[in-house]
Amino acid sequence: MRTIDWADGAIELIDQTLLARTIVMRRVAPLGDLIEDIRRLAVRGAPARGVAGALGVALIAANESDENGTLNIDEARRQAALLREARPTAVNLSWGVDRALTVLEQGADAVLTEALNIRDEDIAACISMGQYGAELTRELVDREKLRIMTICNTGGLATVERGTALGVIQTLLEQDALEEAFPLETRPLLQGARLTAFELQRMGAPFRLLIDSAGPFLLSRGIADAVFIGADRIAANGDSANKIGSFSLALAAKHAGVPFIVVAPETTVDMLTLSGTDIEIEDRGSAEVGGFGGTRTAPERTEAVNPAFDVTPHELITAIVTDRRVIRLDRGETLESVPLGATRTP
């Protein structure tokens, strides 16, 4: 089951706001609906947003082509700019939009072909990250079976299939090298409890769910051998933006001597963003913090500070794993010094 795909002239995506209670596949044709789905997290995860961006341009191109196949280029670019800004922190969305736009003048069919290429590349990238990440972790940790802590959702629901950080956990499971996974619930929208637990259960992985505030303490008590996180944007110096709570796990992992590994495709690396201080952090407002699932938990009119992401400094990161290479930041390697390698297969 793919998280997002193209079918019969429209985008089909799993509405992740309804998981894990029910699985609903949405069919999206108007661009406004896609933008709203991205903003309300019906589709989420940096790689999935990249594919959504590309498919969104394909949708625009189809909608703005007349019966003779002539495309209104200016209007298509105007609408693509709106899609590009749907969420500011993750670089993949703008990357997917921009790449699809490179063939816009060739017509709607060319845009769709490019978008589907991006989809297929994402699937291959997730397989490759799983191979690179599993190999690295087994080098770093001298245990036959590994215990991995993670935050948010970085599985197939955050990509087209399989996933980034959770994809490495799946690869370890397939290699009979996973003892247990420890996903954090991931407040305030519980992507770990709702989505990661759902995916771990479906793949048959042993796991126990943790509340967010327990993660750092439990790392200090030796519960996990490594921490895996995804990323929404990786700056040129290795600073990595990810779901809020990642920074505190990195601090705890450093204190406990536990490897802290960022897993994300090359498309998440933004060499034009020099450091984490240059990354815009989205604040999602008070409503998500004041209640959940229609139930109010804080007093009415309570205001909240609600950053969706934080930035982990590169000094706290052991390694960055992409679909093309491993960058050992703990050894002084950088994104500039490590060349791209091959996409790995099982």
Q: pLDDT tens-digit profile of 322-340? A: 999 999 999 999 999 999 9
Phi, psi of 151 (to 5 degrees): -130, 155
Residue 132 has pLDDT above 90, yes or no: yes
- Give dist(CA 192, CA 76) in Å, integer: 36
Is residue 109 annotated as part of the catalytic site, yes or no? Answer: no
Where in the chain do CATH 1.20.120.420 domains reside? 4-121
Query: What is the CATH code of the structural domain delimited by 4-121?
Result: 1.20.120.420
pLDDT digits (tens, 9 = 90+) for 187-217: 999 999 999 999 999 999 999 999 999 999 9
Where in the chain do CATH 3.40.50.10470 domains reside? 128-331
Query: What is the CATH code of the structural domain delimited by 128-331?
Result: 3.40.50.10470
- pTM of the full predicted structure? 0.94
pLDDT digits (tens, 9 = 90+) for 253-282: 999 999 999 999 999 999 999 999 999 999
Catalytic pick from 37, 225, 232, 270? 232
Residues 6+ apart with CB under 8 A from 195: 16, 19, 20, 153, 155, 157
Phi, psi of 206 (to 5 degrees): -70, 130
